[in-house]
Amino acid sequence: MVWFAVVYTAIGSLWEYIEMSQVTFDGPGAGLAVGLTLAILENSRVFEFTSPMSFSAAIFVKSLIYLGVIAIPVCAVGFFFGLVGGLTMADFRDWVFSADLVVQLVIIYGIHLVVIFVRHLNKLLGPGTLVRYISGKYHKPSVEQRVFMFLDLKSSTTLAEAMGEERYYAFLNACFRDMTEPILERSAEIYQYVGDEVILTWPLDAGMRDANCIRVFVEILAQMHSRREYYMREYGHVPEFKAGIHFGDVIAAEIGDIKKEISYYGDVLNTAARIQAKCNELGHLLIATQELVAALELPRFVKPEALGAVALRGKSEATELVGLYQA
């Protein structure tokens, strides 16, 4: 919301300066009002219906709605500053029905169309990824401390066989859509989708803060169960997930040429993946390394169970694991 307010206040000020060679309260005021209105819309659930749409369709539909909404703060601010400046209601009416207002709305609409496109592009790449590409943060490899969670749909093979390919894809897509809110609220980044698995990651501070890397799993399950009626009606099954978590140093770098992506390399990923593969065997939906559990403050509702030193495939030494959510 702050980002929208600052950007549109700056645009309003610049616009007024270009038109009037001065900046009063009118330009910044109109920009601030438009920015706050659009920010409220973007952060509300108003546009949830556009989620299943294609990239271009979602931009087109949202931009049309914005065109109508933008007129409200522009007219409100114009009315307020007009009265303060001594204009009459007749002057305001003439302005509302003038070509000047139409031109202003079209210009604002064009600016916001660009903003919507950039926001959707950022969403397509993953929150924050576009900024990293532009800034060149990972143009050269760097070492980071990160938390990784390998989150896998439970009984996925059985479900795929029972539902068939198209229905299973729709089911999986619904699951991924429904976990978006918990993922964003817990500051997680979606690193990759691998079939029916989602790999989440956090910078170390964000993942450890308020036990985000643990809470996100519980909140994803809660979200799925809150939609129980929908899943039972449409697919005859309420999704459940299993996950493995670990943290440590990774190499972060851009990779590829004609198709670039930001990739992470390190034993942390292998360990988290191997832990997730042990969930069924060990009878827990969520398992973490003892090292990670010792480094954060667990929520009170989580009752950890020491699972001892467990041999993980591909690792020469056993790893101390802790069960955090029983199956």
Could you tell me if 310 and 278 are in contact, meaning their C-beta atoms sit under 8 angstroms apart? yes
Q: Of 244, 274, 271, 218, which is closest to residue 151 (Cα–Cα)?
A: 244
All structural domains of the chain with their residue ranges? 2-125, 137-326
At 16, the pLDDT band (50, 70, 90 cuts) reads low
pLDDT in tens, 189-200: 899 888 889 999
Q: How many CA atoms does the CB half-sphere of 165 hold within 13 Å?
A: 0
N-to-C CA span, the chain: 40
Instruction: Collect all residues with Cβ–Cβ distance below 8 Å to 150 and sequence separation of at least 6.
Output: 197, 199, 243, 244, 245, 272, 273, 275, 276
pLDDT in tens, 71-125: 777 677 666 666 666 666 776 677 667 777 677 777 777 776 777 667 656 565 5
Which stretches of the chain are assigned E, i.e. beta strand? 142-153, 189-194, 197-203, 241-255, 261-265, 284-289, 305-310, 319-326
> For the residues 52-62, what does the mean pLDDT come to?
70
Structure tokens given for 41: 């819309």
Higher pLDDT, 62 or 133: 62
pLDDT at 250 over 90: yes
Q: Of 248, 308, 311, which is closest to residue 278 (Cα–Cα)?
A: 311
CA 297 vs. chain centroid, Å, equals: 25
CA distances from 288 to 121, 149, 173, 282, 322 (A): 33, 9, 26, 12, 5
pLDDT in tens, 178-222: 998 899 899 898 998 888 899 999 999 999 999 999 999 999 999
Quote the pLDDT of residue 315. 83
pLDDT at 247 over 90: yes
* Percent of the chain whose predicted confidence (pLDDT) is above 90: 41
Quote the pLDDT of residue 83. 66
* Stated pTM of the model: 0.70
In this structure, CATH architecture of domain 137-326: 2-Layer Sandwich (3.30)
Instruction: Collect all residues with Cβ–Cβ distance below 8 Å to 184 and sequence separation of at least 6.
Output: 127
How many other C-beta atoms can be found within 10 angstroms of the C-beta atom of residue 261? 15
Quote the pLDDT of residue 138. 57
pLDDT at 243 over 90: yes
